[in-house]
A and B are shown apart, each in its own frame.
Chain A
Amino acid sequence: MNKLNFLKPDKNNLNIYLYTGSILIIISILDVFLSSFFKINATNFLPETLSLFLPLLFGLIGLHLVRIEFSGIKYLDLLNKNINTNNFNGLLTLLIIFMIILAAPPALSWFIFDANISGDTKDACTGTGACWTYIKVWFRRFMYGMYPNELQWRINVSFIILVALAFVGYFAGEKLKKFLTLYYVIIYPIIAYILIYYLISGGAFGLEWVETGAWGGLSLTFIVSFFCLIFCFPIGMLLALGRRSSLPTIKYFSVGFIEFWRGVPLITVLFMSSVMFPMFLPEDFFMDKLVRVIIAISLFEAAYVAEVIRGGLQALPRGQYDAAKSLGMGYWKMHIFVILPQALKLVIPGIANTFLALVKDTPLIFVVGLMEIAGMLGLAKTNPKWLGFAMEGYVFAAIIFWIICYAMSKYSYNLEIKYKTER
């Protein structure tokens, strides 16, 4: 038997260290757990302020004892390498675990145990938790805005078709692969536009016309984000190239355009698009409010996209331009085949950033009277029959936005990995 040195745990007495350590850690977590979930305070002989101190001390000693390098136990090594490299890391790990345990009971009770979901009126909500009845009753409004209930299938059908068409790329054979860019950049948006124009807006083929003012909720969030993303990207790309152009007119036009849009807040842009812009148009010229808003947001975001892409262009070594030119490629061939593929790859994180910001900026369209999901929330919370449930609404919207944005961020991350090249 080797000598035990509790200050320096080592592999020789692995089991002893492991068991004492584990027991200490379990005691420490159990103590916090019991006091948090069942209000049992095993350490109530200590002052209130110190009630976390003892478990923390126990936990730290425990973590110290199990910190044995190359123990040969896979999970222990993994644990030590990731969250228990030294005392400070161990402390942070413990604090985070404690925080989660302490926060869980109130959160769970608000979200689930004390929450209500039955009934159709405010009176159903008696518990101290969330009133999900409110969300249930207003659900269609949050999804479809003021779009008539009996026509909402039209939105669903268009969205299902669009999602299905978006996956065409996965099934395209080798022969069709080269047309994919064309499909996604030009054909797909046109299909989307036609679908939305004829199916959601209606007015032809015996479909009742629904004015865009009635559109709203999450579906409007999607429509606005979708078209803005599709438009702002190519515009931004051209602006980025324009800003680097050697032709003064193009260059200064791009610089002016970018600096103008970056210099004004989105909310004023939206406001102008609906109030000022029509004044400059001919008397009988009519452009839908939604279209104007989409154009305004697209141009606004294009300026940001342009600067992000310009960053990517500048990161490329001059040699790439030299090589492309020396092979006889002209400006467009050089950019399409050599420069942009590399530059765009570099700026995927930046583009994803801009796109996420765009999606999260869509609620601002309320200033022109369009109510996407956050706008509908604002409307619902001031409804006299449903006063006092703002919290539920915002939590609901936050969860939805988080899901959308997290999916986008994950997707961009996958793209990054897919297109990674070694230099």
Chain B
Amino acid sequence: MSDPIIKIENMNKWFGDFQVLKDINLSVEKNKKIVVCGPSGSGKSTLIRCVNRLEEHQKGSIIVDGTELNENTKNIEQVRAEVGMVFQQFNLFPHLSILDNCTLAPIWVKKMPKKEAEDLAMKQLEQVQISDQAQKFPGQLSGGQQQRCAIARALCMQPKIMLFDEPTSALDPEMIKEVLDAMVNLAKQGMTMIVVTHEMGFAKEVADEVIFMDEGMIIEKANTKDFFANPKSERTKLFLSQIL
């Protein structure tokens, strides 16, 4: 068994007095796909935002690709460059064209030559099938296209891990599929992924492991088949019955 690329141990997080995450333990091996689900407010977003330290945890440890994340982490930018993230609200940079959105970080963070960055960006945009939109601006694209662009932008940094925070829940139903297709595609290429989503079809198709969270705790963690076939906790059963 290889060393896990993400290792979270006894992690706790508070927002002021309010404890959002309680004793989280999670390790993710390379090339594994984890789906996280749970009711609203259960701390799913916070959990994955801790993985690239968009949020700071107060107790416990998080190790990402050999680097422990804490206030002493000097090269947090380096860690973030290796961890791509896709947001519910896309968060594209509205003042830059689709192509520039994709090349900005490779050029300025990875110091990639412009030409090379553009070639890479076009390749990634090709993968998510929006290479014909490269010169447009985010405001001119549909939600589904924007989210696929966001995926391409993250992939242009050639990350080792991809985090998805409800990537399809701000989309109209007819656009969900195109984004999920792009994610399935990515999964097939062997990317390590943590995906917060309620798309259980997607979970069944690609996930190695499914995690159910509630009130800041991991209630259930099982491989995909077991998770859906015989969930152990009552709360998981209830949740699944509502969502399926």
Query: A-side interface residues toward B, CB under 8 Å?
Result: 317, 319-320, 322-330, 333, 337-338, 341-342, 345, 419, 421-423
- B93-A338 in contact (CB<8A): yes
How far, in Å, is A325 (CB) from chain B's closest CB?
6
B107-139 at interface with A (beta carbon < 8 Å):
108-110, 137-139
Encoded as 1 (CB less than 8 Å from any A CB) or 0, chain B from 133 to 177 comes to: 000011110000000001001100100000000000000000000
- A422-B137 in contact (CB<8A): yes
Encoded as 1 (CB less than 8 Å from any A CB) or 0, chain B from 175 to 200 comes to: 00000000000000000000000000
B92 nearest in chain A by CB position: A323
- A327-B91 in contact (CB<8A): no
- Interface check B41, CB cutoff 8 A: no
Q: A328-B157, A422-B139 are in contact. Are A320 and B77 (CB under 8 A)?
A: no
Contact among A320, A327, A329, A422 with B153 in the assembled complex (CB-CB below 8 Å)? A327
- Interface check B94, CB cutoff 8 A: yes
- Interface check B87, CB cutoff 8 A: yes
Q: A422-B137, A423-B139 are in contact. Are A326 and B52 (CB under 8 A)?
A: yes
| Chain B, interface residues (CB within 8 Å), range | 20 to 34
- Interface check B81, CB cutoff 8 A: yes
Encoded as 1 (CB less than 8 Å from any A CB) or 0, chain B from 78 to 120 comes to: 1011111101011111110000000011001110000000000
Count of chain A to chain B residue pairs whose CB atoms are closer than 8 Å in the complex: 75
A-B contact pairs, 22 of them (CB 8 A): A317-B89, A319-B89, A322-B54, A322-B85, A322-B91, A323-B91, A323-B93, A324-B93, A325-B52, A325-B54, A327-B157, A328-B77, A328-B80, A328-B81, A328-B82, A329-B108, A333-B108, A345-B95, A419-B95, A421-B137, A422-B139, A423-B139
Encoded as 1 (CB less than 8 Å from any A CB) or 0, chain B from 51 to 86 comes to: 010100000000000000000000001101111110
How far, in Å, is A423 (CB) from chain B's closest CB?
5
A323: chain B residues at CB < 8 Å are: 85, 87, 91-93, 150
Query: B-side interface residues toward A, CB under 8 Å?
Result: 49, 52, 54, 77-78, 80-85, 87, 89-95, 104-105, 108-110, 137-140, 150, 153-154, 157
- What's the Cα separation between A325 and B76 when bound, in Å? 10
Other CB < 8 Å A-B pairs besides A326-B84, A333-B109, A421-B95, 14 of them? Answer: A319-B87, A322-B54, A322-B91, A323-B150, A326-B80, A326-B154, A327-B109, A327-B154, A328-B80, A328-B157, A337-B108, A338-B93, A421-B94, A421-B139
